[in-house]
Structure 1
């Protein structure tokens, strides 16, 4: 009896230590709970919203990086407003934001160093040459967690948007968070606000979980995409809320000849239980930079409100690559310009060397169980002459028209597909009688079975 009581007491202690993330063996702490825990204030940071804390954040990550091989490390950001320039993360590491914590990006462009363009893009996305650093970054990392009690990472992007509109930037804007060549990433329970450009950009990564994240930007802010998996595999995006000036989700894989040469597709991607608001862009876009290919994308149980289109394919001559095996089901759409939109004439090339013979392959696109209301136009489906988009399937689709809906509800060129139970009646190119579209029965295994329940 005494031995059993001692065992129970030891288990209770282990659980308490796991909750604190300290002082236990890695096995007792559980997945994601870190042995070494420090507050950013221990490295001299001041949370007054005015003091620049770049050196403190860099010093903290460097110090914890030296400890992380021994049971992992966590940097805790307490309540306060923590102004800083860009900084990088390290492996076996958690960035934990407490309730009321706000990490503020410096608005002084001199605090943002220049970095090399991505090899699959060949140049900066906005401008030729190098690009500004991302606000939070990292490369060749393993086991990184960004989480907390819904603290905020604020890009303070207005200065970047103003300069972009005024054409006063010589280099491409940085992204709010970009991880390169990394694996086993978890981003959860954090709010991202006012990114200079794209918000979350996992690139050349694998096994990425983005869960319970809120992303907010003014709906007319330039290129503030929510989440852009880029040449990445096994990515799960779930239970997120995004208000954006561009696509809420944009799956990418490199730009024209650079993406073709780099040859790393985005694949095995799940997007579910997303809520999106984006009046001038898509809930989910595939492309336009898709030259390394996109395949096995599964979209389900998503809501879009006052959003231009639902799941849009963006490509064009010179892109090459492919978009195939896309499965969409159970969408609830409210106030849409287009329910279905495929674009085969997307411009914007990195330079003058794009190959006009590099034509994309778009096939195997499935939409089922879609309800939309207050719709201006059901479908704008534009493939490429002599390169039609094929294998399109639509089933159990209802688009209820807005009071001022267009008289022509479908505009289809260079596309081929089938329809079953679609209203309003689709265009002849999609008019072949089909049957319910498929959706993979076997679930993709991405990330841990449940998110770490560690608190610091």
Structure 2
């Protein structure tokens, strides 16, 4: 009897899905069923709060998951809403001129539990504010369109954070948890309250053709943060940020060590980054579950503090290994190479002094930089040196007011060939040319879906 009731419920759900939902022109990755947010009573005047409309739309279209999936189309207009979640086998499609605006009323942002690999909120202890767009345990999620905008309207959050007026950690603009087969493409993200795209405990993630914009002095507006996630591809993205353009993470101190889920098999290519106070790509600082097999190539940084930076410290544990970087073009840099072994900020003001990170196998190939203040600031950890660093075919043209000391190296070991200015003795051994993996990681579909709704 129970089996018959379940079967009847599934048939009823599919029948309801088919009622009143327009079908799209089908193609690979395109959804069978399509509705507009206006079908749920939303008003795109930038003033009407549409939180209930987005919630109804996602709940309604979730019934189509087993019947070809569904797309929610957001037309041109300014659609104000509080936080909302996505569902599986679902596309959020923003047409040209569409802008989803995050409510600036903190009462519209419910509290949610901290991430288990962080143990508490990142800014403050305890729970955290909801993310603007979220979802957990999802499969086959697409956020795409005709370069519409998702606007976090983050100024109120930055002001309150700096004034120490927030009791809880700010939410992120987009956070997906325990999810797989995600595509984010042809969308602009603007003014996040804190981090922009935070996919956590996820697998098979493609982020392509995305623009992320925030004032260069905004608070902690990381661009893209893969966190304890595997098989992630980030390509053809343009990021202007008040923090790291990309930050690969895997949990925070004892919580990340206990959760034990690394970030691995991550590809970044054709990235353009502007971030005067932070890194083009950071590995850490929260990396206690480990980071491995990171491949960065064919990318540009302009007026950015450093290129590919490693951030760790005593108490972090974990590892950073098998990092491969090639063909970077860097314009106006404070440090081309920066490794930090004394990065602070520990949860609960405690950490295990015996939890030392392992950093090894870091390769830099074909890097050309200009207007550089200092070539390298390389700081490992006493009695826990960073090893296996390899640099080849690297030139840093110095700024008019460059520092006289171009390399400052402690507790690091490596080899170099064809590097100018001449590196520090710790990296001065002559070795074989650095390597870059020849195999291609298979991430996402061979081509992005070409769907018009």
- TM-score interval, normalised by the smaller of the two chains: over 0.9
Q: Is the 8 A contact 1:20 1:455 kept in 2?
A: no
- 42 and 320 in structure 1: CA distance in 2 versus 1, 3 angstrom threshold: same
Specify the alignment match of 2:101 in structure 1: 104
Other-structure match for 1:121: 118
CA contact (8 A) 1:32 1:145 kept: no
Q: Deviation of residue 28 (structure 1)?
A: 8.8
Q: Contact 1:21 / 1:454 at 8 angstroms: preserved in 2?
A: no
In structure 1, what is the Cα distance between the partners aligned to 2:6 and 2:66? Answer: 31
Give secondary structure in 2 for the equivalent of 1:29: coil
| Greater displacement, 351-360 / 44-53 | 351-360
Instruction: Return the offset for 1:15.
Output: 24
CA distance in 2, matches of 1:53, 1:6: 33
Name the SS for the 1:65 alignment partner. Answer: helix
Query: Could you list the per-position Cα deviations for residues 41-90 of structure 1 after superposition, in whole angstroms to 9, with x for gaps in the alignment?
Result: 00000000000000000000000001222100000000000000000000
CA contact (8 A) 2:302 2:333 kept: yes
**Whole-Å separation in 1 of the counterparts to 2:439 and 2:32:** 36
Unaligned runs of 5+ in 1: none
**What is the CA–CA distance in structure 2 between the aligned matches of 1:389 and 1:271, rounded to whole Å?**
23
Q: Does structure 2 conserve the Cα–Cα contact (< 8 Å) formed by 1:398 and 1:422?
A: yes
TM-align CA RMSD: 6.5
C-alpha displacement at 1:435, in angstroms?
2.5
Change (3 A) 1:315 1:50: same
Residue of structure 1 in register with 2:357 after alignment? 360
DSSP-derived class of the 1:28 partner: coil
Aligned-residue offset at 1:431 = 0.3
3-state DSSP class of the match of 2:352?
Answer: coil
Whether the 8 Å CA contact 2:14–2:67 is kept in 1: the answer is no
- Separation in 2, partners of 1:279, 1:427: 25
Higher mean C-alpha displacement, 107-116 vs 67-76? 67-76
| Structure 1 residue 16 corresponds to structure 2 residue 26 | no
C-alpha spacing 1:170/1:414, structure 2 compared with 1 (3 Å): same
Q: What are the ranges of 5 or more consecutive residues in structure 2 without an aligned counterpart?
A: none
Structure-2 change in CA distance of 1:387 and 1:75 (3 Å):
same
Structure-2 separation of matches of 1:262 and 1:239:
32
Q: Is the 8 Å Cα contact of residues 149 and 190 (structure 1) preserved in structure 2?
A: yes
Find the counterpart in structure 2 of residue 303 from structure 1: 300
* Cα distance change on mapping 1:216 and 1:181 into 2, 3 Å: same
**By how many angstroms is 1:6 displaced?**
40
Give TM-score, length-normalised by structure 2: 0.95
Q: Deviations over 1:398-449 (max 9, x none)?
A: 0000000000000000000000000000000000002220000001000000
Shift of 1:328: 0.1
Residues 39 and 5 from structure 1, CA distance in 2 versus in 1: closer, same or farther, beyond 3 angstroms?
closer
Q: 1:345 to 1:20 in 2, by over 3 A?
A: farther
CA distance in 2: counterparts of 1:7 and 1:349, whole angstroms: 51
- Asked whether the 8 Å contact 2:25–2:451 carries over to 1, the reply is no
Shift of 1:16: 24
> Which position in structure 2 is the counterpart of 1:49?
46
Distance change in 2, residues 1:410/1:67 (3 Å)? same
| Equivalent pair of 2:148/2:187 in contact (CA under 8 Å) | yes
Q: Aligned pair in 2 of structure 1 residues 54, 415: CA closer, same or farther (>3 Å)? A: same
Q: Which moved more, 1:61-70 or 1:235-244?
A: 61-70
- Alpha-carbon shift at residue 354 of structure 1 (Å): 1.0
1:366 and 1:21 mapped to 2: Cα distance? 56
Asked whether the 8 Å contact 1:19–1:455 carries over to 2, the reply is: no
**Between Structure 1 and Structure 2, how many residues are aligned?**
453
Runs of 4+ in 1 over 2 A off after TM superposition: 1-8, 10-24, 27-31
